[in-house]
Structure 1
Amino acid sequence: MRTRLLDALRQLGNGSGNCRFPAELFREKATYYQISHWVDIKSTSVKDISRLSDSEKLFILRTYSATLSRVHRVNIIHGDIKPDNVLVDKSESDKYVAKLIDFDDSYFAHEPPVPYLLKSTEYYKSPELAAYVVTDPKKNPKDYKELRKRLTCAVDVFASGLMFHEFWTGSMPKYNGLGTDKAFYKAVLSREPYEYDKRIPDWLMALIDDMLQREPEKRPSMNEVFEAIKAQSYTKQNEWQSKGGGSPVAEPPKVDFSKLRRLMISVPDDLDSLEPETVVKKINMICGYIKQNLSEMDQNQVDVLTVRLANEIKSLKKKPVRTPSGSMSISNSLPNGVTSAEIISDNLVKVVMSDGRKTFKTKDQAYRMGIVKIK
C-alpha cells in the first residue's frame, strides 16, 4: 500500500514543493524506512494567521487548496488534515504560503486501512470517518464494507472547512462542547446549533458550511474550493446547516507590542559579557518567554513584561575584563548568536549575528564576547 501511495504521489512532483511527501521508501530486514526532503518545521501559529490581512489569508487558503486538490486528483486522502500538518510561512517572494506535510496516515479513497490503524485527529474527523473508526469488521462486516465505500476525499474537505474557520478567526465554529473532548462532527450529527464567526466574508462562510455538510456527497471537491477562493465568490449548493445566528463575534482587542519590541532590540549583543549574572539570567528568561508566548499575550502582560525588562536592562554593568595586548584572531568556537566574524583592522571586528544583523565590535568588545582571541 505504501509503495502504491508513493508511486501515485510522485505523479505530483518530487515532494520538495508545497506538497511534502516522502521521496523514497525502502526496507532493511524487518524495518521500513522513508526518506523525505528536509523542511523547516517553523510555522506561523493559527492565532498569528488569523491576524494577517484578508488578502494574505486568502492566499494561504488558495495555495493550500491548490495543493490538496492535486493530491485528490490521484485519488489519495491525506487522512490527517489539521493546522499542525499545514506549515504556513513566508516564501522567497515574501508571501505567506501553505505547505502540506505528514502523509503517514494517507490512503486511497474507498481503501482505508482497518479502523484501529487510522490515527486521524479526533477534532477534525468527518462524520463518516468517525463512524468507520469505531466499527468492528468482524462483528459488523456489512456496516464495515459500506463505510469503507463512503471514505472519499470528502473526508479531507470536512477537516479543511474547520481549518479554514480557524485560519480566518483563530478558533473553530462555536458549538456546545467546544473546548472539551467533544469533537465538532458530533454537533453536526446530532444537528445541534452552532455558530460561525461573523468576521468571515459571506461567500467564504457559505463555502465553509458546504464543506462541513453531514453527507460527504454534498461537499464540494477541493478543486471547487480552490476555484471559489480564486474567484472570491461561491454559490451555496445546500441548505444551511447553521446560519451562525446571534450577535457578531467581537473583534479581539489589538495589543501594542511596539515598546516591547524596541526594548528587545536594545538588549546588548554581548549580554553574556555583562554582570550581575543574576540580571543576565533574568533578561534571558524574560526574552525567551516573550518569544515563545508573544502571540498569546494580552496588553496587560505586555506592559508588565516591558517594565520588568526595562528595569533589568538598566541594572546591567560591564564585567571588568582586561584585554591583553597582541594581535587578534577569530576564535575557533564563536559564542551563541554569532554566525561569523571578520577582522577589519587592529581594533575593529565585523560580526554577523544569527538573525542576519551585521554589527562592528571593538577589540575590547570582541574579546569580552569571546569572538576573538589575542596572540
Structure 2
Amino acid sequence: MQTRCPYCGEVVKVTNTEAFVCPVCGSHVGVSAGTTVLMRTGVVQDTMVGAKLGAYRVKRLLGCGGMGKIYLAEHEPTEREVALKILSDELSEKEHFVERVLQEARAAARLLHPNIVAVFEAGKANDHYFIAMEYVDGKALSQVIFERGRLQEEEALRIIRQVASALAYAHRQNVVHRDIKPANILLTRDGVAKIADMGIAKRLDAPGVTMPGTVMGTPYYMAPEQATDSSSVDHRADIYSLGATLYHAVTGTVPFDGATAPEVLAKLQVQPLNFPKGVRISPQVKRLISRMMEKDVKKRLQTAEEVIAEVDAILGGGKAAAQHRSVGFWIAVAVAAV
C-alpha cells in the first residue's frame, strides 16, 4: 500500500500494514485505523529550519499533515514557543485551500477554552501562508491507543469528558469541528486533553466554503449524515465522531473497518454497531457509545452537555460501587474479628 510519512511527508510504498520505517527519513511509523502514528522521528534536511517567518524563528520539524508541515517555532518578541503550521507550496496556489487555512484560523481563534488548542495568529510571510498555534508537549490519543492497545474505561471516559466540554463550548459559539478523532485529540504530560486541527471546522452562523454534496472528514469516525453531505451537518455529527473515538479507545479497534474509504462509508450507513468479542466493556459504556453513535441523528444524544452528564453518571456510579465494595470489605473484616 501507499501512505505518507507523518514526519517528512514523503509518499512511500509499504508492505507491512501495521508498522514501517520510512525509507526517506528513517522515521519509525505505526499504522492504526488508516492513520499513521509517528513513533520515532528520523532525520530530514528541511530548509525552513532556522529560517525566520515574520516574527517567528523556525526551530525544528514536528511533522507533516495533509495540508502542510508543522514546526516548532519561537515567537521572538515574546520568546514563546508555538506550533507553526505552514501550508504547502502546492496548496498555497489553490484559492480554495488558502481560504480553508484562513477558515481554520478564524474558527479556532475565537475559541478560548482550556481543552482546545489555541490559535494565536494567521497570515502570510515570505510567500508562505501560516498559522501560529499553541504548542502542546505530549502525545495524540491515536499514539497512546497504538502503544497500549486500548485504554481502561475510566481513563478513556475522563478524556472524552474533557473533549465533550470543549465541544459544548465550541457548539455554543456555533462552530462544528467535523473531524473529531484520536489523532486530533492531543494529551499533555499532565493528562489535559486538547482538540486540535480546526481545518474543516464549520461555522453555523456564517457562509462556508464547503460545496453541497462534498464529503469531508475521516471515514472511520464520520457520522452517516456527514458521509452524505458534509456541508449540511450540525453539532450532532461531532457527538457521533466523539462516540466513535470512545469506541476506538476502549476496544482498540474502529467501529467500522474496510479496505477502502468507500467501503467504510457504506458499512457505517447500513451495518449495526457491534462490539468486538473478547473485549470486556461495561454495559454502561456500551450504552453511552451506542447512544452517541445512533445513525438516526434525532435519536442520538443531542448535545455535548448530555454526553458530559452521561459520563459523569458512569464515573460517579463507579465511585459509588467502589465505596460499596469497600464498606462490604470492612463489614466482613469486622464480622471476622468478632
Q: Normalising to structure 1: TM-score of the pair?
A: 0.48
Aligned to 2:162: 63
Answering whether residue 247 of structure 2 is matched by residue 125 of structure 1, we say no
Q: Percent identity?
A: 25
One-letter amino acid of the structure 1 residue matched with residue 200 of structure 2: D
TM-superposed CA distance for 1:233, in Å, is 7.5
TM-superposed CA distance for 1:18, in Å, is 2.4
Structure 1: runs of 5 or more not aligned: 134-147, 235-375
**Residues 10, 33 of structure 1: alpha-carbon distance in 2 compared, 3 angstrom cutoff:** closer
Alignment of 1:66-77 (within 5 A): 66-77=165-176
One-letter amino acid of the structure 2 residue matched with residue 195 of structure 1: N
TM-superposed CA distance for 1:12, in Å, is 3.8
The structure carrying a bigger strand percent of its residues is 2
- Match of 1:34, SS? strand
Contact 2:156 2:246 in 1 (8 A): no
- Match of 1:36, SS? strand
Answering whether residue 158 of structure 2 is matched by residue 79 of structure 1, we say no
Residues paired across the two proteins, number: 209
- Match of 2:289, SS? helix
Aligned to 2:204: 109
CA distance in 2, matches of 1:50, 1:223: 29
TM-superposed CA distance for 1:52, in Å, is 4.1
Aligned to 1:156: 238
Contact 1:9 1:74 in 2 (8 A): no
- CA offsets per residue over residues 265-292 of structure 1, 9 Å max, x none? xxxxxxxxxxxxxxxxxxxxxxxxxxxx
Q: Normalising to structure 2: TM-score of the pair?
A: 0.53
Aligned to 2:78: none
Alignment of 1:31-46 (within 5 A): 32-40=129-137, 42-43=139-140, 44-46=143-145
Alignment of 1:142-291 (within 5 A): 148=231, 150-173=232-255, 178-182=257-261, 184-190=264-270, 192-197=271-276, 199-220=280-301, 221-232=303-314
CA distance in 1, matches of 2:133, 2:213: 26
Alignment of 1:301-316 (within 5 A): none
What's the C-alpha RMSD, in Å, of the aligned pairs?
3.2
**Residues 46, 109 of structure 1: alpha-carbon distance in 2 compared, 3 angstrom cutoff:** farther
CA distance in 2, matches of 1:5, 1:102: 8
TM-superposed CA distance for 1:9, in Å, is 4.4
Answering whether residue 211 of structure 2 is matched by residue 98 of structure 1, we say no
